[in-house]
């Protein structure tokens, strides 16, 4: 069966939170911090089993942010890597169709960084830090 990518729905939220909770060193972001209150992104599935999801922040510039990529820690299928690639390329395709020219992402997971490199993303060699403040 093929992988399927679709837009996030309200009913996906609990699944995403459970994934963030299961990954060490992750904390789920507040819904209101995410695009469209937690629905502004995509999820990749196989036979209705969710595999990976991410959020697309649209801006008033020619750039978008692809962020908060999280995967199902229990999914052991051989196509896990393909699902991650489909999520990224699917977000790229949507961004292009919407007229955007640039994509930006922040990451620390080595495998995810290598996937971005494979898909021709430029990866800065000098690490940076995410800075967030509740105001």
For 92-122, give the DSSP string.
Answer: HHHHHHTT--EEE-----HHHHHHHHHTT--
Tens-place pLDDT, residues 62-109: 999 999 999 999 999 899 999 999 999 999 999 999 999 999 998 888
Segment 103-119 shows an average pLDDT of 91
Over 80: is that where the pLDDT of 1 sits? no
Per-residue pLDDT, averaged over 36-54, amounts to 97
Q: pLDDT band for 43, please (50, 70, 90 cuts).
A: very high
> Going from the N-terminus, what domains does the chain have, and what CATH number goes with each?
3-118 (3.40.630.30)
Q: Which residue has the tokens 């290598």?
A: 114
């Amino acid at each position: 069966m093929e992988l399927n990518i679709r837009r996030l729905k309200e009913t996906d939220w609990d699944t995403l939170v459970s994934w963030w909770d299961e990954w060490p060193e992750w904390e789920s972001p507040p819904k209101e911090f995410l695009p469209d209150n937690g629905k502004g992104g995509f999820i990749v599935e196989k036979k209705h089993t969710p595999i990976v999801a991410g959020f697309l922040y649209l801006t008033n510039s020619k750039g978008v942010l692809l962020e908060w990529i999280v995967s199902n820690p229990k999914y052991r299928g051989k196509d896990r890597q393909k699902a991650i690639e489909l999520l990224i390329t699917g977000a790229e395709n949507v961004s292009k169709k919407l007229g955007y020219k640039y994509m930006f992402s922040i990451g620390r997971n080595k495998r995810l960084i290598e996937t971005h490199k494979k898909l021709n993303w430029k990866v800065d060699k000098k690490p940076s830090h995410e800075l967030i403040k509740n105001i």
